[in-house]
Amino acid sequence: MKFTGIALLSALVVSPVTAFAPRSSLSSSRSTTTSLDYSVGIVGATGAVGKEIRQCLETRDKLPVDQLRIFGSERSAGTKVSTKYGEVTVELFSVDAARQCDVVFLAVDGDFALKYAKDICDGEDGSVVIDNSSAFRYEKDIPLVVPEINGAETKKCKLIANPNCTTAIGLMALWPLIQKFGMKRVIMSTYQASSGAGQPGMDELKAGTKDWLEGKPVVNKIFAHPLPFNVIPQIDKFQDNGYTKEEMKVTWETRKICGLDDNMPISCSAVRIPTIRAHSEVIVLETVEPADVQAAREVLDAAPGVKLVDDPANLQYPMPLTATGQYDVEVGRIRKSLAFGDYGLEFFVCGDQLLRGAALNAVLIAEEMDTNGSLKAKVVA
């Protein structure tokens, strides 16, 4: 179930920078000050992202979980969910119940997060909250985190914002190159799957494709136009500057996560395409230092969370077909930019936005906080 807006609330109780120093990346080992396992809560666990959060916790098995608690609406409360940690009964959400957890993942919409997130984490006895919505991404004092880039930011606050899926996927490839060659500007074009709109988006594409093939009218409620056999150059609402909010998220969030100047030129065009999972991105980077293609390949091949797929002679390059269900972001088609010459690179990125762009990144944040000691198990008397 995907919680949205008022329905959810009623259902639940309650100038350009030219050089960059390396930033903190993932901590290497668990803090010696954390020895207890955690009580972990997921709100929205039956939605597309919530399901993936649970599966990431189970399959990675790096965050020590003593108890998993799943919170839902009146409709789902009382149902049973089989997990690696045993059979879990879905609980009716309340702030008091969520505050009993050590860490709470919010896989719900921004209205819910705005109403409840700070109440869950408030005070010394509050829980760590990792929010997957856009509610807090642009608040100055709330960290917006991709752990491989700025994991140390998690030490500053118990409320952590998860980035937009497009931003997180692109930065996995972009950040190592920025560190190596510097950055003057970035131009990005994204080709985003139906799952960017959650389970309803995937369902609408599947049903619409079936109807189209059977010669029936295609109904669109989730997307601005019918998506089957079509592309839609609009994701989210248009802004006064002609960009959509989805496109501006890439600009705003890249600057914040990478610690870039507010005037750093970053431009994005976002297109919805009729695929189920995994977003694709063409990224053009103008560099400060001359950018050698082979050196770029070596940097990306060594980067955590990145899989180099760059063998055009053998038709090997990133695709949604191969990136779907994978933790690592695929990067390929790496070449010198004809627009920027020796000071430019162009490459193609593909990543599963339900994982790297949402659930996996959220779980990695919790793992980083466990490792650096900012996530602590509450001692129950």
Say whether 279 is catalytic: yes
From the list 56, 101, 121, 279, the catalytic residue is 279
Residues with Cβ < 8 Å from 104, sequence gap 6 or more? 40, 41, 42, 43, 98, 120, 121, 127, 128, 129, 130
Residues with Cβ < 8 Å from 320, sequence gap 6 or more? 193, 275, 276, 277, 278, 279, 280, 350
Classify burial at 168, counting beta carbons within 10 Å of its beta carbon; exposed 0-12, middle 13-18, buried 19 or more.
buried
User: DSSP character for 188?
Assistant: E
72 beta partners:
92
What is the SS3 assignment for 313?
A: helix
The CA distances from residue 102 to 12, 42, 121, 268, in Å, are 21, 11, 10, 37
Q: How far apart are the first and last CA of the chain?
A: 35
From the list 56, 165, 258, 268, the catalytic residue is 165
Which two tokens mark 292?
A: 């050698």
Say whether 56 is catalytic: no
Instruction: Specify whether the CB–CB gap between 85 and 39 falls below 8 A.
Output: no
Report the run of H or E that residue 99 belongs to, with start and end: helix 95-99
Classify burial at 295, counting beta carbons within 10 Å of its beta carbon; exposed 0-12, middle 13-18, buried 19 or more.
middle
The residues carrying an active-site annotation are 165, 279
